[in-house]
Amino acid sequence: MKNYYLKILIKSAFGVWILILIQSCGEQSKTEFELEKEATDLDSETEIRKTIEDLYGVYTKSDLKWVDFYKDEYKLASDDGTVQEKYADSLRIEWKDIYNRYDVILKERGKPIISVSDNQVFHYNTFNEIFIKKATKDTIENIGTWIVLWKKQKDNSWKIEFETYHAK
């Protein structure tokens, strides 16, 4: 009888050892997965920071090419909390009119704060710009925060899928 209990104990100990081994392998795989995800997120963060800089590079020149950074259809949350479906073509027409009536000067912008999640990036930054009416030279100061959701496209470019902003 004594040998019987010893055999059960050995088998149980072996089973526990196997479970510990499986669990530690699972944790190691999870760690490797997490490291791979962190590397991917870091790549995405580097890409999106460059994309944001490229966008501002053309925006500061009052070049409508910055609209190319938007998906053809995107969403805009307005101050009253409603979310509207918008179109890049409409945005281009709207800003062409603005540029015809105003000189737009981006005085400063805050460093983008970024949060990466797989193929999406949330970013926000502050801005301070002036609109100078061409006809009268009257100025409007526009200070606020821009909040954007970027999504990676099939062609690996990043496009704005959702935005909102708050301006004083």
Looking at residue 132, its pLDDT comes to 98
Residue 36, pLDDT score: 56
pLDDT of residue 16: 43
Strand 120-133 with 139-152, pairing: antiparallel
Q: Residues in the chain with pLDDT < 50? A: 2-19, 21
For residues 134 and 98, give the distance between their C-alpha atoms in angstroms, rounded to a whole number: 10
For 84-108, give the DSSP string.
EEEEHHHHHHHHHHHHHHEEEEEEE
Give me the pLDDT at residue 66, please.
97
pLDDT of residue 68: 98
Whole-number Cα distances in Å, 150 to 21, 47, 157, 160:
41, 11, 10, 4
In sequence order, the 6+-apart residues with CB closer than 8 A to the CB of 120 are 149, 150, 151, 152, 161
pLDDT for 167 equals: 85
- Closest by alpha carbon to 110, among 119, 97, 123, 91? 123
Global confidence as pTM: 0.75
Q: Which domains does the chain have, with CATH numbers?
A: 2-167 (3.10.450.50)
Instruction: State the pLDDT at residue 7.
Output: 41
- 105: how many CB neighbours lie within 10 A of its CB? 13
